[in-house]
Amino acid sequence: MPTPPATSGRLLYAQSGGVTAVINATAAGVIEAARAKGVPVYAARNGILGALREELIDTTKESKTAIAALRHTPGGAFGSCRYKLKSLEANRAEYERLIEVFRAHDIRWFLYNGGNDSADTALKISQLGKAMDYDIRCIGVPKTVDNDLAVTDCCPGFGSVAKYTAVSTLEASLDVASMADTSTKVFILEVMGRHAGWIAAAAGLAGEGTDEPPHLILFPERVFDEAAFLAKVKATVERVGWCTVVASEGIRNAEGRFLAEAGTRDAFGHTQLGGVAPVLAALVKEKLGYKYHWALPDYLQRSARHLASKTDAEQAYAVGQAAVDYALAGMNAVMPVIVRSSDAPYRWKVEPAALRSIANREKKMPRGFLTRDGFGITAAARRYLAPLIQGEAHPPHGSNGLPKYGRLKNTGVTKKLPTFEH
C-alpha cells in the first residue's frame, strides 16, 4: 500500500543554480499557495546547502506585501547554490543529514526550484522516504534560462532572457549601423548557453529580413567553422556595411573543444568558459581587419527584471502554485511542466511530469529550427520563440527613478541539531 500523504507539517522550498529574473515569482507562487492552504513554509538558505546546514528561513514572518513583491523582484530571495548531491551509495551521510533536518523541523514536503542538476537532486531526495522510513514528498520546480529541460515546452526564466537578448540585439545593431561608415564594422554579442542554443536563437527575433540583424547566430549545436564564419562576416559587411553576430558561449570547434574554454570547472563539474566573444573578435581583426566591438552581458541578461516577459513571469508563478498543489495531493518525484496547446494565439497549461524523464537530460535546438547554413533561425523557431517574449511586466518604480524591488527579513529558524561537516 502506498503511504498516504501527510496532513500536517511544514513545506521546505529551496532555490538552486543560476537565478533568473523570475525565479522569485515562483517563490511567491509557492508561498502564497501554501498560505492559502494553511501550510507553513520554510526556505533553505542558499539552496540544498541550507538544508544540510540546517540554515532555514521562516517565511511566516514575512508580510503578505513582502511576499507579493517577490513577483517583480529579480535574483534569488533566499540565496542559491551550485551543489550536486552524490548518489545515496556514495554519500549516505548527506542523505541521513537531510532526513535529520526534515524530522527535526517536521518538514513533509520539499520543493526544489532549479534546472537539470537540480531535477536530479530532487529525484534523489524523492527516493529518501522509502530508503529511510520517512514520509517526505519531493517536487522539482522548473527554472533555467538555458531552456534545456526535457518534457516542458519552455522553462521559466527563459522567456525573459530571450526578450532581453532580442531587444539588446536590436538596440545595439541600430547603434552599430549608425557608426559603421567610419567606425565599428562588426559587433559580437555573447550570450549564455553551454550546450543548447536557445538564448542565441532568441536573438533572431530582432529581425526577419536577410540583411536585418543578427546577421549570424552561432549555436552550440553546430560545429564552429572558422572559414565559413569569416566568409559570412566579410560578405555581410561588403553588402550591408556592417555585421551583428550573436554567439552562444558554448560553441565548439571540430575537435569538440569550447572556443572559450578557461581550463577550470564549477561545482557541478561543468567546464568554466572564459568568453567566446573576444576570441571571435580577435579572428575578425586578424583575418579581416575590421574594427569591432563585443559585449558580454553575463549576469545582466538573467537579472533584467525591468525587461521581463509577462508570459514568463506568469508561467514562473503558475509552476510554483502547481508544485504546492501536487505536493499536498501526495504526489512525489514529479515536476510541474508547461504544455503548449497553440502557437497563435499562444495557449498553455501546467501538468505534472515524472522527474525521471527530466533529470540528467538536455533539450537542444531541433534541427528544423536552424537554417541550412547554420547561421540563423527558421520560421518554425520563430513560431516557438515569439510567444515566450510577449507582454511587459514592469516592476513598480520609486521617486528616484529606480525599480522598487522587494527585500525580505529572512528570519532564521532556531537550529536543533549539531553542526554538519560536509
Task: Give the strand pairing for 271-273 and 261-265.
Answer: antiparallel
pLDDT of residue 372: 95
> Per-residue pLDDT for 252 more than 90?
yes
Which amino acid is it at 180?
Answer: A
pLDDT band at 5 (very low <50, low <70, confident <90, very high): low
> Per-residue pLDDT for 37 more than 70?
yes
pLDDT of residue 272: 54
For 362: left if phi > 0, alpha if psi spans -120 to 50, otherwise beta; the answer is beta
> Per-residue pLDDT for 35 more than 80?
yes
> Per-residue pLDDT for 333 more than 90?
yes
Task: Give the mean model confidence (pLDDT) for residues 68-75.
Answer: 98
3-state class of 128 per DSSP? helix
pLDDT band at 84 (very low <50, low <70, confident <90, very high): confident
Active site residues: 146
pLDDT of residue 7: 65
pLDDT of residue 260: 81
pLDDT in tens, 153-170: 999 999 999 999 999 999
pLDDT of residue 248: 96
Q: Are 327 and 111 in contact (CB under 8 A)?
A: yes
pLDDT of residue 6: 58
Q: Are 176 and 187 in contact (CB under 8 A)?
A: yes
Task: Give the mean model confidence (pLDDT) for residues 182-189.
Answer: 97
pLDDT of residue 209: 86
pLDDT of residue 345: 94
> Per-residue pLDDT for 117 more than 90?
no
End-to-end distance of the chain based on CA atoms, in angstroms? 36
pLDDT of residue 269: 53
Weakest-pLDDT range from 3-12, 23-32, 295-304, 313-322: 3-12
Q: What percent of the chain has pLDDT over 70?
A: 95
**Structural domains of the chain, ranges and CATH numbers in brackets:** 10-143+306-360 (3.40.50.450), 158-304 (3.40.50.460)
The total of other beta-carbon atoms located within 10 Å of residue 144's CB is 29
Cell of 40: 507553513
CA atoms within 13 A on the CB side of 180: 19
333 membership: H or E segment, kind and range = none
Task: Give the mean model confidence (pLDDT) for residues 340-356.
Answer: 96
Report long-range pairs for 203-207 (Cβ below 8 Å, ≥24 apart).
203/165, 203/166, 203/169, 203/246, 204/166, 204/246, 204/376, 204/377, 204/381, 204/382, 204/385, 205/162, 205/166, 205/382, 205/385, 205/386, 205/389, 206/166, 206/167, 206/169, 206/170, 206/173, 207/170, 207/173
CA angle (328 as vertex; 326, 332 as ends), nearest 5: 55
How much is the CA Rg of the chain, to the nearest whole Å?
23
DSSP 3-state helix, strand, coil percentages of the chain (rounded to 5)?
A: 40, 20, 40
Cα separations (Å) of 9 from 39, 96, 104, 392? 7, 19, 11, 38
- Kindly provide the b/e burial profile for residues 388-412, where b requires at least 16 CB atoms within 10 angstroms of the residue's own CB: bbeeebebeeeeeeeeebbebeeee
Q: Are 166 and 178 in contact (CB under 8 A)?
A: no
